[in-house]
Amino acid sequence: MASSKYTAVAHAAAEDASGGGLFSLLMSEVRLVELLVAAGVFVVLHALWQGKRQGVAVWPVVGMLPSLLLGIRQNIYEWLTCVLRRQGGTFTFRGPWFSNLHCVFTADPRNLEHLLKTKFASFPKGEYFRATVRDLLGDGIFSADDETWRQQRKTASLEFHSAGFRAMTASSLVELVHRRLLPVLAAAADAKGGDGEIDLQDVLLRLTFDNVCMIAFGIDPGCLRPGLPEIPFAKAFEDATEATILRFIMPTAIWRALRRLNLGRERSLRCSIRRIDQFAYDVVAARRKELESSTCNAGPARSDLLTVFAGMKDDNGNAFSDKFLRDVCVNLILAGRDTSSVALAWFFWLLNQHPTVEQRILDEAKDILKGREFHEDKVVFRPEEVKRMEYLQAALSEALRLYPSVAEDEVFPDGTVLKKGTKVVYAIFSMGRMESIWGEDCLEFKPERWLRADGRFTSESAYKFTAFNGGPRLCLGKDFAYYQMKFVAAAVLLRYHVTVAEGHPVVPKLALTMYMKHGLKVTLRRRDGAGLLTENA
Ligand code: HEM
């Protein structure tokens, strides 16, 4: 009995104890949930409050990454422009703790002038940039700093402004546009039904690739031909560029490890570079032979960059090495291969929405041709006529203001104003859309903003219109690019009305060059039923 009484008491005590334990466990869990909710509310409020101050919500550990990812899902360029407008032109992006994504974005012309001109020496491309692109670009103009850069810039600049170079670029364009581009367009225009659609961006990319290879190597790879064939050198170049850019997003240790182990994209990068090198070294060897034999006869007849550099000596009186000549040419091809074609693609797309601008371009072209006997289908514009196309130049500048081929560019400060090594990204796309720079109508396509009262084209400060960079590193091919774009645009527009295919989506691709993500599908309608012939046939 005593024992059963004891058992009953013990039971009651145990029940009491377990009930209390459950209660206190529940309480502690409630407190934990409360704590977690309170902490969550604090984090959200803090992130949003920081967002108000810093432009974008800042989360623990991951920083501004969530907002950036949302921006990438929509249109990253528009997203960045909105943030920059809210922040008065400059904002600091805080990446995740574990990444090297921290950087300063700016769309302020004063900062641009400071970075690109005033403090030019403090903002070199730097060792990080060079190490990342070295396999593809070596010591070429794009990645070089100091004396290596200065020497190439000086020589290339002299060459770009020489009469021989101008004559060579003009004749290469006549060949490419009249014997290659127009026949490809004519075939598309004559095709029946849906077969007449053509990706104009792809065709233009082929044209400028062939053109820049003619300027760099004096060789025409033949990308723009009927049937639009795949050219191994062009493909290798495209793949190598993409894989090199990927290195900038990857942690350095990872791509270096992949490179050492010859795996993944690093493996295909190595293959692509091998193919580029094979092509380049073959051309260099052939040119050296040609130059040796030509010194016995007359001087070199060529004006391409390879010929010019191959005929020069370095400071010690030695000829430049094959590797250096390869680097010079590969860098120029990278600089001039896609930029003008992408600008032209955006230009044709904008024209499709602005028929009055198209009409004014045509009127100007026909006015320039007045006094010369011509038939639209036979016209080959002369260099002095291309120069006089001021309205066309304004329309192309306007397209580049709204859709700059290089949407953003980075510099790596070496100085003390910013923390050493901080990336500064100047948002070229956003700069073309800042009300503070271009006024209330900044989002409109209005070539007239580039014209003076007398109708002459007037250029803008390179720190406001940054499509071509500014300061000592201003794009070396700017004048040539305008000539090339004007020549192509006038030749096409005189013969065809270009219509963007119905429902074709046009959005920028997230890349170093602002390609149209899905190309530019168009149909072509002949003007005045003109057939295809060329003047110099
Ligand atoms: C619409 C056409 C073009 C645009 C918008 C453009 C834009 C630019 C930009 C933004 C840079 C600075 C890049 C940097 O340093 O990070 C640059 C540099 C350069 N561009 Fe262009 N470019 C165009 C066409 C061309 C063409 C056709 C060529 C050559 C045939 C060319 C040759 C160069 C060279 C050599 C540099 C390096 C200059 C230096 O670092 O000293 N560009 N360009």
pLDDT digits (tens, 9 = 90+) for 281-291: 999 999 999 98
Which residues are CB-neighbours of 107 under 8 A, at least 6 positions away?
81, 84, 89, 90, 426, 427, 430, 431, 434
Q: Which of 81-90, 242-251, 496-505 has the lowest mean pLDDT?
A: 242-251
Mean pLDDT of 451-476: 95
For residue 183, what pLDDT band results from cuts at 50, 70 and 90? Answer: very high
Sorting pLDDT into bands at 50, 70 and 90, what band is 507?
A: very high
CA distance 166 to 239: 31
87, 130, 194, 461, 473 from 411: Cα distances, Å: 21, 12, 46, 20, 12
Task: Indicate whether 73 pLDDT > 50.
Answer: yes
Separation of CA 22 and ligand 1 centre (Å): 72
More confident residue, 97 or 457: 457
pLDDT for the residue 530: 45
Residue 220 pLDDT more than 90?
Answer: yes
Region of poorest pLDDT, from 189-198, 342-351, 377-386: 189-198
Confidence of residue 10 (pLDDT cuts 50, 70, 90): very low
The CA-based angle 241-475-90, given to 5 degrees, is: 85
If you search the block for the tokens 């993944």, which residue do you land on? Answer: 264
Q: Is the per-residue pLDDT at 4 higher than 50?
A: no
Residue (of 400, 451, 406) closest to 425 by Cα position: 406
28 pLDDT exceeds 80?
Answer: no
Nearest to 3, CA basis, from 82, 11, 488: 11
Mean per-residue pLDDT, 462-485: 96
Q: Which atom of ligand 1 is nearest to the CA of 149?
A: 41
* Most ligand 1 atoms within 8 A of CB, residue of 306, 406, 475, 514 to mutate: 475
Residue 297 has pLDDT above 50, yes or no: yes
Asked whether residue 386 carries a pLDDT value surpassing 50, the answer given is yes
> What percent of the chain shows pLDDT beyond 70?
90
Q: How confident is the model at residue 533 (pLDDT cuts 50, 70, 90)?
A: very low
pLDDT confidence tier of residue 263, bands split at 50, 70 and 90: very high
- Atom number, ligand 1, closest to the C-alpha of residue 466: 10
Quick check: 531 pLDDT over 70?
A: no
- Are 391 and 502 a contacting pair, CB within 8 Å? no
Residue type, 1: M
Q: How far apart are CA 85 and CA 475, in angstroms?
A: 27
Tokens of 260: 């050492």
Rounded to an integer, the average pLDDT of 345-371 is 96
The mean pLDDT of 433-444, rounded to a whole number, is 96
What is the distance between the alpha carbons of residues 4 and 520, in angstroms, rounded to a whole number?
Answer: 92
pLDDT at 268 over 90: yes
Sign of CA dihedral 267, 269, 275, 277: negative
Strand 103-106 versus strand 423-427 pairing type: parallel
User: What are the strands, taking DSSP E only, across 56-167?
Assistant: 90-93, 103-106
Tokens read off for 498: 């270009």
In the predicted model, is pLDDT for residue 429 greater than 60? yes
Q: Tell me, what's the pLDDT at 228?
A: 94
The structure tokens 């900038």 sit at 248
* pLDDT above 90: residue 503: yes
Provide mean pLDDT across the span 146-152. 92
Can you give the pLDDT at residue 376? Answer: 67
- Which is higher by pLDDT, 449 or 315? 449
- Whether pLDDT at 17 is above 60: no
352 and 373 in contact (C-beta within 8 Å)?
no
Q: Residue 43 Cα, ligand 1 centroid: separation in angstroms?
A: 45
Q: Are 292 and 251 in contact (CB under 8 A)?
A: no
Q: Which residue has the higher pLDDT, 411 or 429?
A: 429
Nearest-CA residue for atom 31 of ligand 1 = 477
Q: 302 falls in which pLDDT band (50, 70, 90)? A: confident
For the chain, give the mean pLDDT: 88
**CB 466 less than 6 A from any atom of ligand 1:** no
Percentage of residues of the chain with pLDDT beyond 90: 63
Going by alpha carbons, the residue nearest to atom 9 of ligand 1 is: 468
How far, in Å, is the centroid of ligand 1 from the Cα of 406? 9
* pTM of this structure: 0.88
Atom 18 of ligand 1, nearest CA residue: 475
pLDDT reported for residue 414: 65
CB burial of residue 506 (10 Å; 0-12, 13-18, 19+): middle
What is the average per-residue pLDDT within 119-131? 88
- Ligand 1 pocket mutation, candidates 116, 120, 142, 339, criterion most atoms within 8 A of CB: 339
Joined together, the tokens standing for residue 444 give 């409109």
Nearest CA to 504 among 486, 523, 483, 487? 523
Q: Are 155 and 309 in contact (CB under 8 A)?
A: yes
Spacing, Cα 467 to ligand 1 middle (Å): 9
Per-residue pLDDT band at 416 (split at 50, 70, 90): low
Burial 336-351 (b: 16+ CB within 10 A, else e): bbbbbbbbbbbbbbbb
User: What ipTM, to 2 d.p.?
Assistant: 0.98
State the distance from the centre of ligand 1 to the C-alpha of 345, rounded, in angstroms: 18
Residue 212 beta carbon below 6 angstroms from any ligand 1 atom: yes
CA-CA distance, 149 to 84, in Å (whole number)?
A: 32
- The mean per-residue pLDDT over the stretch 114-126 comes to 88
Task: Name the most confidently modeled range: 68-77, 139-148, 318-327, 437-446.
Answer: 437-446
**Is residue 223 marked as binding?**
no
| CB of 468 shorter than 6 A to ligand 1 | yes
Report CA(512)–ligand 1 centroid distance (Å): 13
Q: What is the pLDDT of residue 535?
A: 42
Q: Please, what is the Cα angle at 380 between 496 and 488, to 5 degrees?
A: 55
Mean pLDDT for the stretch of residues 204-228: 95
Weakest-pLDDT range from 122-126, 157-161, 286-290, 435-439: 122-126
pLDDT of residue 9: 45
